Amino acid sequence: MTKQILLAAAMALAMQSAHAAAPPEARVEARDIFQTIIAMKTSEGLGQVPRMAEYLSGKFRAAGIPSDDIHVVPVGDTAALVVRYRGTGQGGKPILLMAHMDVVTAKPDDWQRDPFQLIEENGRFFGRGTLDIKSEVALLTETFLRLKREKFVPTRDLVIVFTGDEESTMESTNVLATRHRDLIDAEFALNGDGGGGQLDNATGKATVFRVQGAEKAYASYDVTVRNPGGHSSMPRPDNAIYELADALKKLQAYQFPVQWNDWTTGGFRESAAATPGPMGEAMARFAANPGDAAAAAVIASDPAEVGRVRTTCVATLLRGGHADNALPQSATATVNCRIFPGTTAEAVRAALQNVVGDKVEVSLLGKPQSSDPSPLRKDVMDAVAKAVHANYPGVRLVPDMSPGASDGAIFRAAGIPTYGVSSLFWKDSEDFAHGLNERVPVASFYAGLDHWYVLLKTLAGR
């Protein structure tokens, strides 16, 4: 009987996957959109994001979405694109679907292939933005076009939000959240720039899918020592560079207190089963008892995991002195911090100041954006599980808090719970977002069409 039940379940999953599979025309159109937008150099300062927004707007208009529901919002030399797919409203407030059109700078001379040409090779798509995240822009766009062709009427409005400067200032996201709330107001948001699936480095088999419900805040601080200076032929103990070095060594040794939330403890609980050895054991102990200092120490020993147990700060830039024959009058290091939700940027500044002492000045740079974790919603988690299992049956879903930051933090701060549910699966060994020869598996890209289709029809279908 048990074998019959398992066989029936496997057949049901296979039927679900086949039902979800995107038709050939959707795959062809998605690839064409992907190829076109990869060729657009939407790095900061090049002014190409508005061009991409207009290109995508044309696709939506041609699909039958009224012009009044398509908004290109200029922000300096960039822009945001907001597209509303009207529903009946019977299912509640809208759902936002997020990605960003901009990419980090790519120097063609450093790449093995042209970063601004979509190249398919050895089962991978290469190009700047293939992973981060023009893939999701293409997939979300094609999902709207496919649903329109099928004359699908959702039970609530679906609103695409493609921002234009996530990789730099996030100003277009702030503008939407503060000046155009009517365009983006929603019950919750699904962010293509967070979460996602992991493939085993050796076998390529799907192992886990992370649902991101919280993000750490990004903040940078200048740590500065000042001094009257003097002639280099008369060195003194009070040297600004030496004193800065001493301060940085203190910061290097300092550890912020251990913290946790539902997303981190839930993530460790689910990850423990798939993580062998002492690390998996520590994850299980920490999930059961976040006060377990020994377990936290083991987790923190892994650079990939330390950000999930505390605020982290690291020196990233250094400058000082003004002449090679003069004692330095100042020396400054920039320290970048990723701040655990619930901790303010000012509290971190005060902690750093306390560590380095009164002779050193610690100043906050810019205006960091922080946000509280989103609530763990069963309806969202169940829908994501259905979408993931359409292509990867049985893969474990893991709640996650990202050590980094995205546009999602701004929407969370604006009162819109946001969930990172990237459709993509990739190997850790091939994560070259922001780096050279960025890539994404071809099969993962096409599976993304099924992911978004199932997810939206589950959350907004009849």
> Where among 365, 398, 433 does a domain terminate?
365
Angle at 332 between CA 326 and CA 335, to 5 degrees: 160
Answer yes or no: are the C-beta atoms of 380 and 244 closer than 8 Å: no
CA distances, 7 to each of 3, 13, 18, 387, 396 (Å): 6, 10, 16, 21, 20
Claim to verify: residue 278 and residue 360 sit in the same structural domain? yes
Claim to verify: residue 142 and residue 261 sit in the same structural domain? no
Claim to verify: residue 183 and residue 251 sit in the same structural domain? no
Claim to verify: residue 231 and residue 187 sit in the same structural domain? no
Claim to verify: residue 170 and residue 242 sit in the same structural domain? no
Q: What pLDDT is attached to residue 328?
A: 97
CA distances, 170 to each of 132, 162, 320, 378 (Å): 15, 12, 30, 30
Claim to verify: residue 156 and residue 236 sit in the same structural domain? no
Q: What pLDDT is attached to residue 3?
A: 35
Residue at 300 is within a domain: yes
Residue that the structure tokens 């929407």 belong to: 411
**210 token code pair:** 């992370």
> Where among 365, 386, 417 does a domain terminate?
365
Closest CA to 416 of 161, 166, 227, 207: 161
CA–CA separation, 13 vs 393, rounded Å?
Answer: 7
The length of the chain, given as a count of residues: 462
Residue at 433 is within a domain: yes
| Domain CATH code at residue 354 | 3.30.70.360
Amino acid present at 321: G
Angle at 386 between CA 383 and CA 388, to 5 degrees: 110
Claim to verify: residue 325 and residue 417 sit in the same structural domain? no
Residue at 282 is within a domain: yes
Closest CA to 97 of 211, 195, 209, 193: 193
Claim to verify: residue 349 and residue 432 sit in the same structural domain? no
Angle at 72 between CA 67 and CA 77, to 5 degrees: 155
| Domain CATH code at residue 439 | 3.40.630.10
Residue at 71 is within a domain: yes
Answer yes or no: are the C-beta atoms of 143 and 453 closer than 8 Å: yes
Claim to verify: residue 237 and residue 188 sit in the same structural domain? no
Claim to verify: residue 56 and residue 112 sit in the same structural domain? yes
Q: What pLDDT is attached to residue 462?
A: 80
Claim to verify: residue 167 and residue 254 sit in the same structural domain? no
Amino acid present at 452: W
pTM: 0.88
Claim to verify: residue 42 and residue 190 sit in the same structural domain? yes
Residue that the structure tokens 């379940």 belong to: 9
Residue that the structure tokens 């061009």 belong to: 51
- Domain interval for residue 250: 217-365
Residue at 207 is within a domain: no
Residue at 335 is within a domain: yes
Residue at 399 is within a domain: no
Looking at the 3D structure of the chain, how many domains does it have? Answer: 2
Answer yes or no: are the C-beta atoms of 301 and 255 closer than 8 Å: no
> Where among 341, 365, 389 does a domain terminate?
365
Q: What is the mean pLDDT of each run of 10 residues along the chain (462 residues)?
A: 34 43 95 98 96 98 98 98 97 97 94 96 97 97 98 98 95 96 98 95 94 94 96 94 98 97 95 92 97 96 94 97 96 97 95 97 92 94 97 95 88 96 93 90 97 98 87
Residue at 134 is within a domain: yes
